[in-house]
Structure 1
Amino acid sequence: MQATSKRQLIKAVAALGISTATFAFLVPQAFAQSKEIIYQTFLDPNNSKDPRSAAQTKMVDAFQAKYPDIKVKFLVDPTGQTASRAIKSGSQTPDVIRVVGFAVSEFAATGNLLELDDLVKKDGIPDEDWLLPLSGTKVAGKLYALPQDFRIPILFYRKSLLEKAGVKPPTTWDEVCATGAKFGESDTIPFAVPLGATGGLGGAQSLGEFFLSTMLPGNGGEYFTTDGKIAFSKESFIKAAQTIKDFYTKCKVTPLRSAQMGFNEVHDAIRSGSAAMAVFGLYRYKTVKQQGGGDDLAWAPAPGYTANDKQTVYSYNIAINKKTANQDAAWTFVKFMVSPEAQAFAAEGGEVVSRKSAYTAPYFQSDAGKDQKQWADLVAERGQTVAYTPILSTYHTILGEAFQRMILKDGSPADAYDELIERYGAALAKAQ
């Protein structure tokens, strides 16, 4: 059909006495071939119940309207494993991927992500127009991905359950511990601490993301070195491990069944009201609210050792497959997806978008955008970025298993640390 249309156009041009070469010069779009790029994302455009999916569809539709010669096809990849295998194997597709911030170093280590420093500089994308500096996204001084949002842990809580127990949203870990006695014997989980592996990219991701990536480096400290070695101290690990073990034991705020919980189970527990509190991802707040939390769901800044501790922030980033045959089209798409125009759509799905200038959109002046604006302020005030290991899924698996043994078999934090150091060191050496 396309070839027939082109022949008909050439005949029409010839009848007018215009050479096809001249016409092609004057109207190059007439002879342009549409390019197709494959966009890997964990958001299913057919999922009408997820506001983030609806926002993503609006973004891509706006891109298609602006660039009709670039066709975008979705590769829905909820766990990211398909993209991971493709990048590690050097496949040409997908052309563009969404990669979680703490996995960028793992993907970059393959050599199959496109470096973006020169493209960002050439197109004048301003470094100052981000909630946090782009330097926090770099791996070994090079930019491989651009942040689409910033994510900081927050405390989800059910207002009715806290009111019934006479509890205020805790601001410190000591205050979390003290709530256990106030809830007493109940089927409700007062404070969920997930050690399980469901719903993440591998291992006990929720434990690492919401707790340990903040607790282990501390305020302004390091998590990993650029070559993947552990940079946090034994003292900080033992302190964090003892704090979490106490939630399960001494504090009686986290029942043992939480040890098997991961992303999915915490989501469902907060949604259904079977958990009163959890430190969870702000990117799921709007979804949980719509799925059952309603007006009973509220949030507060995540607790810390002190009420003003820094919280580790990460992003979902957009990156380009270095092996793509459509680099120019892929870059055009990536630029659009991090533009203030596209991010105004992303915000409607509940994301704390990364570009400062996006916050001038009318949405942020409405009640619907109020929480996200406050989260953006929280990111700017208490957010910090850290370096992650290139074998993060393996690290999270080792970490989760060590914590489960410590709690379910009454092991010590020191033993958990020794297990982590031995198994992680062997895994890192094998990977290198």
Structure 2
Amino acid sequence: MIKAAAVLTVFTGVSAASIDRAIAQATEIIYSTFLDPNNANDPRAAAQTKMIQAFESKHPDIKIKLLVDPTGATVTRAVKSRSDTPDVIRVVSFGLAEYAATGNLVPLNDLVKKDGISEDDWLLPLLTGQIDGKLYALPQDFRIPILTYRKSALQEAGVAPPKTWEEVCAAGTKFKQPNVNGFAVPLGATGGIGGAQSLAEFFLSTMLVGSDGRYFAPDGKIAFSKENFVRASTTIKDLFTKCKVTSLRSAQMGINEVHDGLRSGTIAMTNYGLYRFKTLQAQGAGEDLGWAPAPSYTESDKQTVYSYTIALNRQSKKQDAAWTFMKFVISPEAQAIAAEGGEVVSRKSAYTSPYLQSDVAKNQKQWAELVSQRGRAVSYSPILSTFHTILGEAFQRMMLRDESPENAYAEVVKRYDEALTKAQ
């Protein structure tokens, strides 16, 4: 419900009856999000609440109601069943192709052009997020894998944060503590949105695309080459075997187990999500937690980035009000508020705000520069969770049964093609 204080700010000098009528006549927009406003421990949720309050103060005729859906399962069912709610859908960009394939998202190209929304005032150009030539969502933030490490563990081993996979391999013999995993390579499925998300998000979505940036084709078929797959899987297998920089324990790890290992110090370093960095610090890692650009084959390789985006439900009966809210959410004003929660917000002009100019936001500014300099958007599969599951199982078999990278490639392609055909 619109807060009276917010309404009074707009209706100063107006009668109480007029205020009551404005509240009663307000258009209610349902906005899906994974951020629970009741979670007092998540600064991103507090920033979201503050942003919505700012919007309702400016637009007292529109009220925002949250659909809190941490896994996205409820929204996925709603979109596939052609429900008219939620009106505004918050969806991770690597899941956007699946939603767009339903035909129930509004292409935004014409709306963006009509309202003069800049295509260049973003860490990455807005249209790089198109699917088959259509813009189905607007990015709220950008996320790029980073090397996350415990400073004391690297110092004890005499290891500098590695910049390349060759340097990661060379560090293997230097970690002597029996209970410390030098460089975790998670192949498990916990903590993500289906399948071995941590393996794909932090490693393979960059390693498989290579220099040409091809991940999936517009029709959902695999676009990365066999050569890139074999190189990536050989690299990862070597980290377990020849390099001895990781252990088979990490073959069962997912996002949650890696988080716990970094927090407790049983993992010295790994590629991880920048969105977990502040939480890890607060949960015990403190100033012992460091970060650097994620290792790659060369120090200048591009890294795949993704976003949390907002999309407009084609079935919504309140599209005008929903679009008004969406425009505010990606405005520099709202982005500056969202940044207070720790996100690497997407609009360049938001970085002139007082918060983002402060020392508290030092990491966020540096991550934003990393996204702009080395970030790259790629096209994803419309059955990405299934692909992640297939990947994780093939890589686990490759490690536990000593299968070859070529066999893993054949398994992934065969199972994925069968799943894609079944889904169409």
- TM bucket by the smaller chain? over 0.9
Q: CA deviation at 1:143?
A: 0.8
Q: Is the 8 A contact 2:22 2:60 kept in 1?
A: no
- Aligned partner of 1:260 in structure 2 is 252
- Aligned partner of 1:364 in structure 2 is 356
1:145 counterpart (137, 142, 145): 137
- SS of residue paired to 2:298: coil
- SS of residue paired to 1:240: helix
Aligned mates of 1:82, 1:408 — CA distance in 2: 35
- Aligned partner of 2:25 in structure 1 is 33
Aligned mates of 1:148, 1:31 — CA distance in 2: 28
Q: CA deviation at 1:398?
A: 0.5
- Aligned partner of 2:211 in structure 1 is 219
- Aligned partner of 1:119 in structure 2 is 111
- Aligned partner of 2:186 in structure 1 is 194
Q: Is the 8 A contact 1:202 1:393 kept in 2?
A: yes
1:299 counterpart (276, 291, 294): 291
Q: Is the 8 A contact 2:22 2:61 kept in 1?
A: no
Q: Is the 8 A contact 1:363 1:369 kept in 2?
A: yes
1:48 counterpart (23, 31, 40): 40
Aligned mates of 1:290, 1:338 — CA distance in 2: 28
Aligned mates of 2:44, 2:170 — CA distance in 1: 36
Aligned length: 408
Larger Rg over CA atoms? 1
- Aligned partner of 2:124 in structure 1 is 132
- Aligned partner of 1:398 in structure 2 is 390
- Aligned partner of 1:181 in structure 2 is 173
- SS of residue paired to 1:423: helix
What letter matches 1:290 in structure 2? Answer: A
1:328 counterpart (320, 332, 335): 320
Q: CA deviation at 1:206?
A: 1.1
Q: Is the 8 A contact 2:149 2:290 kept in 1?
A: yes
Q: CA deviation at 1:69?
A: 2.1
- Aligned partner of 1:353 in structure 2 is 345
Q: Is the 8 A contact 2:344 2:364 kept in 1?
A: yes
**Given the superposition, is the C-alpha separation of residues 75 and 32 from structure 1 closer, same or farther in structure 2, using an over 3 Å criterion?**
closer
What letter matches 1:302 in structure 2? Answer: A
Q: Is the 8 A contact 1:220 1:384 kept in 2?
A: no
**Given the superposition, is the C-alpha separation of residues 282 and 171 from structure 1 closer, same or farther in structure 2, using an over 3 Å criterion?**
same
**Alignment of 1:68 onto 2:68:** no
TM-score of the superposed pair, with normalisation by structure 2: 0.93
**Given the superposition, is the C-alpha separation of residues 30 and 303 from structure 1 closer, same or farther in structure 2, using an over 3 Å criterion?**
closer
Could you tell me which runs of 5 or more consecutive residues in structure 1 were left unpaired when the two chains were aligned. 1-23
What letter matches 1:312 in structure 2? Answer: T
RMSD: 1.7
2:268 counterpart (272, 276, 283): 276
- Aligned partner of 2:423 in structure 1 is 431
- Aligned partner of 2:12 in structure 1 is none
Once the two structures are superposed, residues 331-386 of structure 1 have per-residue CA deviations (whole angstroms, 9 ceiling, x without a partner) of 11111111111111111111111101101101122111111111111111111111
Q: Which moved more, 1:31-40 or 1:346-355?
A: 31-40
Aligned mates of 1:67, 1:260 — CA distance in 2: 49
Aligned mates of 2:284, 2:177 — CA distance in 1: 25
What letter matches 1:173 in structure 2? Answer: W
What letter matches 1:377 in structure 2? Answer: E
Q: Is the 8 A contact 1:285 1:350 kept in 2?
A: no
Q: CA deviation at 1:271?
A: 1.6
Q: Which moved more, 1:40-49 or 1:106-115?
A: 40-49
**Given the superposition, is the C-alpha separation of residues 30 and 148 from structure 1 closer, same or farther in structure 2, using an over 3 Å criterion?**
closer
% identity of equivalent residues: 69
Aligned mates of 2:315, 2:208 — CA distance in 1: 36
- SS of residue paired to 1:63: helix
Q: CA deviation at 1:252?
A: 1.4
- Aligned partner of 2:199 in structure 1 is 207
What letter matches 2:152 in structure 1? Answer: S
Q: Is the 8 A contact 1:39 1:95 kept in 2?
A: yes
**Given the superposition, is the C-alpha separation of residues 291 and 305 from structure 1 closer, same or farther in structure 2, using an over 3 Å criterion?**
same
Aligned mates of 1:393, 1:313 — CA distance in 2: 17
2:302 counterpart (299, 310, 319): 310
- SS of residue paired to 2:214: coil
1:409 counterpart (392, 398, 401): 401
What letter matches 1:381 in structure 2? Answer: Q
- SS of residue paired to 2:66: strand
Aligned mates of 1:120, 1:392 — CA distance in 2: 27
Aligned mates of 1:405, 1:146 — CA distance in 2: 38
What letter matches 2:146 in structure 1? Answer: I
TM-score of the superposed pair, with normalisation by structure 1: 0.92
**Given the superposition, is the C-alpha separation of residues 415 and 38 from structure 1 closer, same or farther in structure 2, using an over 3 Å criterion?**
same
Q: CA deviation at 1:185?
A: 4.6
- SS of residue paired to 2:210: coil
Q: Which moved more, 1:141-150 or 1:266-275?
A: 266-275
Q: CA deviation at 1:140?
A: 0.7
Q: CA deviation at 1:32?
A: 7.1
Could you tell me which runs of 5 or more consecutive residues in structure 2 were left unpaired when the two chains were aligned. 1-17
- SS of residue paired to 2:156: helix
